[in-house]
Amino acid sequence: MMGLERALIELLLNFVTLEQLNGFLRSPQHTATVVGCLIAVCGALLGSFLLLRGLSLTSDAISHTVLLGIVLAFLLMTGAGWEADTSSPWLILGAAAAGVGTVLLTESLQRSGLVRQDAALGLAFPLLFAIAVILVSRYVDDVHIDEDAVLVGEIGLAWANTNSHCFAHCEPLIITPEHPAAQATRQCVNCRELTISPRDERAEFVSVCGNCGVYSPAQAWGAGLLDEAPMLVFFPKSIAVMLVLTVLTVGFIAVFYKELKLTTFDAALAKSLGFHPGALSLALMALVSLVAVGAFDAVGSILVVAFFIIPPAAAYLLTDRLSGMLLLSPLIGGAGAFFGYDLARGLLFGIFPIEKGIAALNTVFGLSLREAWDSSISASMVLTMFLIFVLVWIFSPRYGLLALAVRRANSRRRFEHQVVLAHIHNHQGTPSHAIELRASTLHQHFRWTPQKMNRVMMRLRALGFVSLEAGSAILTPRGDAHVHAFRKHMLAVHNIPDIDSAQP
């Protein structure tokens, strides 16, 4: 990973200066936004296939059970005397194995025929997650892999977890007792043995070097031991990890797009054509596991579920095409990450100050809500994505609540029009014409209110379908043509021969 980071830095230094790059990477907002967008892209792309396969909550299960793989890999590495940290590739592989194990255990329970898929998932992941929590609380509670860090996470601290890369003046500094910068200090040699204070008259001291040792360029500069600053770039670890996972996710979907599409919509057909839906599904779940563990430090295992589910769910309301869904869902997730940081600072979509909104509620309704806004950045990103989903849910051109309400109102109006037109057509020119089509009593034949009938008649007259003659409703030529066209359409839809227009 260090090599990748250095290669990225060298590439970026061709376009910006070292000071500009460090200024960008050392900004909590910039780092949080970049990491959040990368997580959103990975989660949205993979979550689109999970949503279409009906496996969205599998991401929830995997995001919890990867903790078991992390803990087991950590214990094995420390037991073998290896250095283990959360960025170790062995921990990532352990997390992926745990995710695949979750899927295998769920499928095994389901294939028994005694447990449904949702129940099998509900049995598998609490078991594995409970084991992980027990292992964390008993064996690794002295490191930062604890329940709170793994479950919650905080993307606002991603900028502080960095690797330093030196590009000039990179020699380490060795301080010896003879070095001009060496600082001599006294150390009590018998205080611990006699359990006495250094101020005791029996205390014996020796002179030692208080700052001797080997300093990296960054440590030496921070301690004020160098006259010339080294050229250092501090690169957040989360950016490199999530960038690798983003490239891996995009590459996997690009290479296996057709296979994923076929197995998602018709697994039986894919199997009959020689594909392996099971292997592809396991590969997909392994990638979900990798993304989940990569997002642990940033957003934790609970909030990462939102990055898998909310953007694809919003995109699903905007398009019926898989390609469109794969394009829209990362954009929605990225927008949630971008504006989520502003929400954590108290600005809704970077415009509306939330504190003023809370103050207005307190004033209007006499509430005593706390006006100061202090929110988790990760949670704010998730909340922003949900707000975007709500907006899409309401205003989606095809599947939004408003569009649905408009279509229902139009359907209701069309139905009312056709019922009235059919009634007029059936009774026009018959002996019952005067009774059935009298405008003042027409509403009684439909058991409508007079007001409703007046509204319907006004619309029909405005369309030129109906006119009033001698207090009775009659069809205009246009209305008669409309009724016949509608009749032919309905006969064709139901495959019924038109007897009236049949030739003798």
Read off the pLDDT of residues 424-452 as tens digits, 9 standing for 90 and up: 999 988 888 888 899 889 999 899 999 99
Q: ∠67-80-4 over CA atoms, to 5°?
A: 65
Q: Could you check whether 2-158+236-310 and 402-502 share the same CATH topology?
A: no
Contacts of 230 (CB under 8 A, 6+ apart): 166, 168, 169, 170, 217, 218, 220, 221
pTM, two decimal places: 0.78
C-alpha 73, offset from chain centre: 27
Quick one: average pLDDT of 390-400?
Answer: 92
Residue 496 has pLDDT above 80, yes or no: no
Residue 304 pLDDT class (50, 70, 90 cuts): confident
Q: Which of 171, 67, 75 is nearest to 128 (CA)?
A: 67
Read off the pLDDT of residues 43-53 as tens digits, 9 standing for 90 and up: 999 999 999 98
Read off the pLDDT of residues 250-292 as tens digits, 9 standing for 90 and up: 999 999 999 999 988 888 888 888 888 888 888 888 888 888 8
**CATH number for the segment(s) 402-502:** 1.10.10.10
Q: How far apart are CA 299 and CA 159, in angstroms?
A: 13
Quick one: average pLDDT of 477-495?
Answer: 85
439: three-class secondary structure by DSSP: coil
Q: How far apart are CA 26 and CA 23, in angstroms?
A: 5
| Length of the chain in terms of residues written | 504
Q: Which fold has domain 2-158+236-310?
A: ABC transporter involved in vitamin B12 uptake, BtuC (1.10.3470)
Residue 230 has pLDDT above 60, yes or no: yes
Residue 64 has pLDDT above 60, yes or no: yes
What pLDDT was estimated at residue 47?
92
Read off the pLDDT of residues 180-190 as tens digits, 9 standing for 90 and up: 888 888 888 88
Residue 148 has pLDDT above 70, yes or no: no
**Mean pLDDT across the chain:** 84
What pLDDT was estimated at residue 312?
94
Residue 492 has pLDDT above 90, yes or no: no
Quick one: average pLDDT of 157-162?
Answer: 80
Q: Judge contact between 315 and 305, C-beta under 8 A.
A: no
Q: ∠45-129-159 over CA atoms, to 5°?
A: 55
Residue 238 has pLDDT above 80, yes or no: yes
Give the pair of three-digit tokens for residue 328.
Answer: 């829209």
Q: Give first-to-last CA distance, the chain, whole Å.
A: 85
Contacts of 384 (CB under 8 A, 6+ apart): 335, 336, 337, 339, 340, 343, 349
Listed ranges 145-159, 180-194, 280-294, 476-490; the one with the highest mean pLDDT: 476-490
* Domain spans of the chain, in order of start: 2-158+236-310, 168-230, 402-502
